Amino acid sequence: MTGKVYSALANRDREFGPFLQAPSTGEGEWRHWHLGRDDQNIAWLVMDKADTSTNVLSEALLRELDALLDRLRDDLPKALVIRSAKDNGFCMGADITQFRDLDSREQAEQKLSDAHRVAQKLVDLPCPTIAVIHGAALGGGLELALCCDFRLAVPGASFGTPEVQLGLHPGLGATVRLPALIPPVDAMTMMLTGKNLHDARALSLGLIDQLVEERHIAAAVMAAANGKIEKAERTGWKSKPFEHALARQLAGKRMRSQAADKAPPEHYPAPEALIRLWEDHADDPETMLRREVESFAGLLQTHTSRNLVRVFFLREKLKAQAKAPAEDLADMPELRHIHVIGAGEMGGDIAGWCALKGYVVTLFDMQPETLADAVGRAARLCRSKHLSPAETRDVLDRLIPDLANHGVSRADLVIEAVPEDLEIKRKVYADVEPLLKPSAILASNTSSIQLEQLREHLDSPERLVGIHFFNPVAKMQLVEVVAHDRASASTLAQARRFVGQIDRLPAPVSSAPGFLVNRALTPYLVETICLLDEGVDAEAIDQVALDFGMPMGPAELADQVGLDICLDVAEMLRERLDTQQPATPEWLRRKVESGELGRKSGKGLYEWKEGKPRKRSTYEAAPADTLDRLVLPMLNACQACLREKVIEDADLLDGAMIFATGFAPFRGGPMQYAGTRGEDEILSRLQELRGTYGERFTPDAGWQTDAR
């Protein structure tokens, strides 16, 4: 049987042949695990969570592991190997769906204690234990591997503790076992940032013992079972000082400062809880494991964690939009060739991202230097993603400059990314449409022009769709997929699927002025201009937003977007929505006319140096009502979008705003925040602001109880 097991592993098909059908030792049927022994009496315990393509640590899976470990202890093998039957990795962590079922701290502590008991059984098993890891070992998956004596990784494996992204810290022993295995500061950095380690770095730190090609796993497992494995070097001298509380406190002070820069403790309590746990108990592992359970259970009940868990499911809901019904895609060929028209900042970066994600991309522009700049940015993108020279060459080979626009006739998807001007876009469509393949899709990256206007002179308007990326393309996860009433279901489904295939989150929205994100964001930026016009310092306005939890202030954001774009969108919305938005101040018009556009020109509301705004450290505090003046117009616009069915529901809206604008994730999204604060209070406060500042604060009809 050994040959069959390893042959399947070497082929990476994860089939395991008859090994998965009937354990050779007759040790029973298990729903989430497969257990068998080879002819060397090495037990292979294969994780294969039922009814899912991904391993996660559910209560049922751990309960089976508990029983399996009892059986193995009673009939001890020469060694135990744990690995995954899933193609996509070892284990992605805890089953987060079960977090929602934990109603109290006491219940959470009990469940965690049960999981710790199972983990300790693995630690205590009196034979060598070996985790063989391919793909990702994250969160609880990594913690399970840390319970083993040896960790062997296949090239390409990655390791991480992403719990901080859920407002938590590790809860299955990593707070003790990870700093005991690798240098404590590196372990704490992993847990505080949630960033992954890739294979070579994990080996250099001692997180894994060997990095082994799949075909050599058999020999490495045998060596570990026989005590002949060459284990990774442990850097004990880096750990020794932290056996003393004073050294931990000094290091903890620096960790607090660094964590607070990214995650203020008043909003994100998990980093502080982890640092305190390490400072107080790292010299007593047994106590620290117990305190880890108590701390994790307490964090799980906080509003921050509950909202961040909600954000996790909002992401999953957006990802699911890429999975179209089969009937909608029945007549649609696979997208293989993307053609982008316009190699400016947006078009060039869209093309580079699509090439990075494996597509053949032709990129048209009439200016050779613009095409050259786009290719240069794509090369820098590859470097930022740590691609090898060979991988970078493959990406750049797929990105084909096209001065003659020849790619149009061969493309499956054509993305227009020319300036935001209706007549320019119509001219492009008139030139392009006759050249398109019958099955090709025509997409616009427009940020504000309604598709009803863009389609007017098209012969086949059913193939037109909006695919609206946000800047910077390589960092912004959300893409609006914009529908109009003549777009075919297959066009929309193919567009959503494409967005998912390039590792982005599709937000289905209807063709309305500003769509969703710009419609909601513009009142926030307009009110910033009003505050500036009243003499409030930009730094003070930004600080109010930062204190609320935004990733950057609105004045800095306006400069990032470009004051010219902000001005165009604001005037378009004023015209098309007939809002009571105040007139644009002359000083802002003069800035735009003189080329002071923000980050891209080096000067706007701030001066910019090396990609960063220069802000004063001292300024007068903003008025007390600044936060409501900024945030409530955004919420009001979100309510209007829901009422007008610009987007289907509040969950999709919250997810879109979080992943497109960075709306304070720990607050769960604009509508979740409105619900927490109370919609009646939002309505009342908008009416007060209307009385003080004017009609732009008029509450949307959707806030009225009888309109909901």
Residues tagged active-site = 468
Tokens of 658: 């979080």
**How many Å apart are CA 142 and CA 153, to the nearest integer?**
12
Helices (H), ranges, 416-465: 422-432, 451-454
**How many Å apart are CA 281 and CA 285, to the nearest integer?**
7
Is residue 635 within 8 A of residue 670, CB to CB? The reply is yes
Phi, psi of 698 (to 5 degrees): -60, 125
Instruction: Specify the 3-state DSSP secondary structure of 444.
Output: strand
Helices (H), ranges, 56-183: 59-74, 105-124, 140-146, 174-181
CB-based contacts of 229: which residues, under 8 Å, 6+ apart? Answer: 150, 209, 210, 220, 223
**CA-based diameter of the chain, in Å?**
84
Q: In Å, what is the CA distance from 617 to each residue of 265, 536, 592, 620?
A: 22, 15, 26, 10
**How many Å apart are CA 259 and CA 271, to the nearest integer?**
7
153: left (phi over 0), alpha (psi -120 to 50) or beta: beta
**How many Å apart are CA 77 and CA 410, to the nearest integer?**
60
**Sole residue written with tokens 């042949």:** 17
Is residue 678 within 8 A of residue 614, CB to CB? The reply is no
Tokens of 571: 């005037």
Nearest residue to 122 (alpha-carbon basis) of 80, 160, 75, 94: 80
**How many Å apart are CA 153 and CA 47, to the nearest integer?**
16
**How many Å apart are CA 40 and CA 37, to the nearest integer?**
8
Instruction: Specify the 3-state DSSP secondary structure of 387.
Output: coil
**How many Å apart are CA 588 and CA 528, to the nearest integer?**
12
340, β-bridge pairs: 363, 415
**How many Å apart are CA 159 and CA 304, to the nearest integer?**
25
**How many Å apart are CA 313 and CA 319, to the nearest integer?**
10
> How many residues does this entry show for the chain?
708
Q: Taking each helix axis as running N to C, give the angle between helix 389-398 and helix 368-384, from 0 to 180 degrees, rounded to the nearest 10.
A: 150
Is residue 676 within 8 A of residue 667, CB to CB? The reply is yes
201: left (phi over 0), alpha (psi -120 to 50) or beta: alpha
Q: In Å, what is the CA distance from 546 to each residue of 306, 554, 627?
A: 21, 9, 10
Other Cβ atoms within 10 Å of 430 Cβ, number: 11
167: left (phi over 0), alpha (psi -120 to 50) or beta: left
Q: In Å, what is the CA distance from 590 to each residue of 541, 587, 613?
A: 22, 5, 20
**Sole residue written with tokens 């005590």:** 227
Residues 138, 140, 146, CA angle at the centre, nearest 5°? 85
**Sole residue written with tokens 């990476």:** 12
